[in-house]
Structures are given as C-alpha cells and as structure tokens.
C-alpha cells in the first residue's frame, strides 16, 4: 500500500481575486484583493513586501486561469482545493472563482474540491484602519431560511459534481465558526435540527451521506471570532464527524513583534497536533501553514504597531525547506495515528496573498513551495489524473 494512500492533501483557497458585485459596491467597480497586494510596502527594514505573483494579477474566475492553478496543484501532490465559501443572509459572495472558474475549467477532473463555509462576519478591513471597532459589512450569522437556501445551492451546484471531495465516501463540508452558526439559529438544539435537515436534503438528492467538519482553534484572530467552549460536548450535540485546523495562528500567538521565527511556531504546531488529537473525541485533521504576514491588509501610510489583526506580527524565515520539514512532520503524525479510514492534511493556503500564506509561485521563490509539497506527497495518483 502506498504510505500516503489514505491521506488527502487539501489546500485552502481564498477566492477574493476576481470581480464581485459586493466588492464593486464596497470598493468600486472591478476591485479585487490584488489591489492590496500591489500596494503593500515594507513596514520595517528587511520586510519582504510587496509579494509579486509570478503568474501576474490574474482573474481566478477565468476557467483557463483556474486550469493553470489546477495543473500546478495536481502535479505537485495536492489532491483538493477547499474553497473558503461565503453565504450571507442575502445570498452568496465570492463564488465566481469556484462557479465560473473551477467548475468550467477544462481539467477540473485532475483534482477535487470542497467547501469550507467561512461564516464569520465580513468586516471593513480591506485595508484596515488603526481605529476600531471595524464596521461589519455582512454578518456571519444567518437564519434557518437563509441556511436552507444555502443548502439547496450547495446540493444543486456542487455536491453532484464528480470532482467533489469525499471522505470515506461522504461529501466533505467544513464550517468555520460554530458560535456564529448557533447564534444564527438561536440554540444548539435548533442548530442540530438544521444540520440534520441538511443531511436529509443530501440523501433525498441521491448523493449519499454528508461528512460535517468543524474548524477549531484556541486563539481569536479576526475581531468578532469566538472560541468554542466545552468543544467535545458541543460537537457531539451538533453531530459533527471531524474537526480540523485552519491555520497555525489559530492555536499559537505570534509573541515577537514584528517577526516571530517560523521554526518556533512549527515546533509548537508539531506538539499541538498531538494535543488536539487527544483533546477531541472526533477525528482531527491537522494543518501546515506556509507563512503569515497580514500587513498588506493595513493602511500602508499608517504606523505599523501591534494592535491586533491585521496589525500584528508575522512569521519570519518561512523558507521552502522549513515548510517542507513541517509537511514531513504532519505526514508522520498522520501515518502514526491513522486507522483504516481516510484523513485530510490541510495547507494554509493556496493563495492567501494578503496574509502571506500562499503556495502559488512568486517572483522570489518561484515554484519552491509547491515543490516542497511534491517532495513529500507526490504520487502516481496525482500524475495520472
């Protein structure tokens, strides 16, 4: 048996690099987050900004552009994109990368895709001022009616696609913020009822079973995020199937400003994988983070002080070699812990350019981070798709 045959490598995908009607309303016609990437500046001596994409500032909703991403990912050992997916009370946001791009890409059979409902408040932080609180542009908590419409859209638009990611035969769907979910529905009991109704809708559509994954963390990052307390009890009551990490800094504060060494957090993350695996009764899917630098989301003319996200420390010396070491440690963790079922290793992220965590090639490192993934995880399975 291939030593990684039951490990699926999935990169989180942040889809804010194509025009969207909400962004047009908030920022002006044609705006994308590439504007923040272009305008980033060094905030201290030796700070490597701006990051410049090797492929240019492309529109990810173009199927040919997305096809290039798919080829690069699949050829370097990545099995799936987990799209950050947004649905607010009045409907979807940033769906164009997936719906116009990925689903129409001519080679989308080369890799899988899944959804992580990023149900947090969308704040006015693109870019962020030093003064707070930030204005909420779209609340993350939604009603049962809005959730039902979201479920129908997921079933109709994504779940029947042959490339949709399944774990042990079940459709994988992740939810970012449990407290926001419960707040929208009113109680844990009503939330459980809504999720069971979702499962029933999937069955009635003839698509089998749903695998519900919850993102867990211990450190607040975005203003408004709430840490889940009594996590195992809540997860059991809500009926989730697994838990996962989204990014290292959900678990570890970057104490040294302006830069915290990557290896320092990598060592902590290595230990945390073991801790979280013991802490949660559900299967735990670990994360490897490529880097962190949220300074492009700050007003570049303002002083850069440690005020909290996005005015915060960044990871330093996150070289491709150090990233590869983190991947090998995560692979060893899963190999030692895995039972007969499938597991997922998530990577943050495919394209979080304004948070400094991306596998896409830039003009400094080229394809080196993708090559690190290939060195650890490439198999015949990827090459033959």
Count of Cβ atoms closer than 10 Å to residue 11 Cβ: 27
Please say whether the beta carbons of 105 and 165 come within 8 A: no
Lowest mean pLDDT among 7-11, 187-191, 376-380: 376-380
Q: Residue 273 — φ and ψ, nearest 5°? A: -55, -45
- Mapped onto helix, strand or coil, the DSSP state of residue 383 is helix
Confidence bin at 225 (pLDDT 50/70/90) = low
**Percent of the chain with pLDDT strictly greater than 90:** 89
Q: Is the pLDDT score of 381 beyond 60?
A: no
**Residues 158-193: tens digit of each pLDDT:** 999 999 999 999 999 999 999 999 999 999 999 999
Confidence of residue 337 (pLDDT cuts 50, 70, 90): confident
What tokens does 172 get?
């994988």
Condensed to tens digits (0 to 9), the pLDDT of residues 98-113 reads 999 999 999 999 999 9
The domains located in the chain, with CATH, are: 7-383 (3.20.20.80)
Question: For residue range 20-42, what is the model confidence (pLDDT) as tens digits?
Answer: 999 999 999 999 999 999 999 99
Q: How sure is the predictor about 223, in pLDDT bands with cuts at 50, 70 and 90?
A: low
Distance, in Å, from the CA atom of 209 to the CA atom of 238, rounded to the nearest integer, reads 16
Q: What mean pLDDT do residues 211-232 have?
A: 73
Average pLDDT, the chain: 94
Residue 144, pLDDT > 50, answer yes
pTM value is 0.95
**Region 255-276: what's the mean pLDDT?**
97
Please tell me the predicted confidence (pLDDT) of residue 385.
43
Please tell me the predicted confidence (pLDDT) of residue 217: 80
What confidence score (pLDDT) does residue 4 get?
45
The residues facing 84 across adjacent strands are 116
Euclidean distance between CA atoms 181 and 141, whole angstroms: 6
């Amino acid at each position: 048996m291939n030593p990684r045959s039951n490990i699926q490598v999935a990169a989180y995908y942040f889809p804010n690099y194509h025009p969207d009607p909400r962004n047009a309303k908030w920022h002006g016609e044609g705006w994308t987050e590439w504007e923040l990437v272009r305008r980033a500046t060094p905030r201290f001596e030796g700070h490597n900004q701006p990051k410049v994409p090797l492929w240019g500032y492309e529109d990810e909703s173009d199927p040919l552009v997305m096809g290039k991403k798919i080829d690069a990912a699949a050829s370097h050992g990545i099995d799936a994109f987990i799209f950050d997916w947004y649905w607010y009370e009045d409907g979807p946001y940033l769906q164009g990368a997936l719906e116009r791009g990925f689903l129409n890409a001519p080679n989308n059979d080369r890799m899988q895709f899944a959804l992580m409902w990023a149900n947090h408040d969308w704040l006015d932080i693109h870019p962020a001022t030093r003064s707070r609180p930030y204005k909420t542009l779209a609340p993350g908590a939604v009603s049962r009616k809005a959730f039902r419409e979201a479920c129908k859209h997921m079933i109709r638009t994504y779940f029947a696609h042959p490339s949709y990611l399944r774990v042990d035969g079940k459709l994988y769907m992740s939810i970012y913020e449990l407290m926001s979910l419960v707040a929208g529905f009113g109680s844990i009991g009503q939330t459980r009822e809504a999720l069971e109704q979702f499962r029933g809708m999937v069955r009635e559509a003839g698509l089998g079973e749903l695998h519900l994954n919850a993102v867990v963390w211990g450190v607040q990052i975005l203003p408004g995020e709430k840490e889940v307390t009594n996590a195992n009890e809540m997860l059991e009551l809500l009926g989730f199937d697994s838990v996962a990490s989204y990014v290292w800094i959900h678990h570890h504060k970057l104490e040294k400003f302006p830069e915290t060494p990557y290896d320092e957090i990598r060592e902590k993350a290595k230990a945390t994988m073991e801790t979280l695996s013991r802490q949660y009764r559900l299967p735990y899917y670990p994360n490897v983070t490529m880097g962190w630098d949220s300074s492009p989301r700050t007003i570049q003319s303002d002083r850069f002080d440690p005020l909290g996200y996005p005015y915060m420390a960044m990871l330093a010396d996150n070289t491709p070699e150090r990233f590869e070491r983190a991947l090998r440690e995560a692979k060893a963790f899963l190999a030692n812990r895995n039972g007969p079922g499938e597991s997922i290793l998530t990577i943050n992220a495919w394209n979080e350019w304004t948070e400094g965590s991306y596998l896409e090639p830039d003009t400094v490192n080229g394809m080196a981070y993708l090559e690190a993934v290939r060195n650890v995880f490439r198999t015949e399975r990827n090459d033959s798709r």
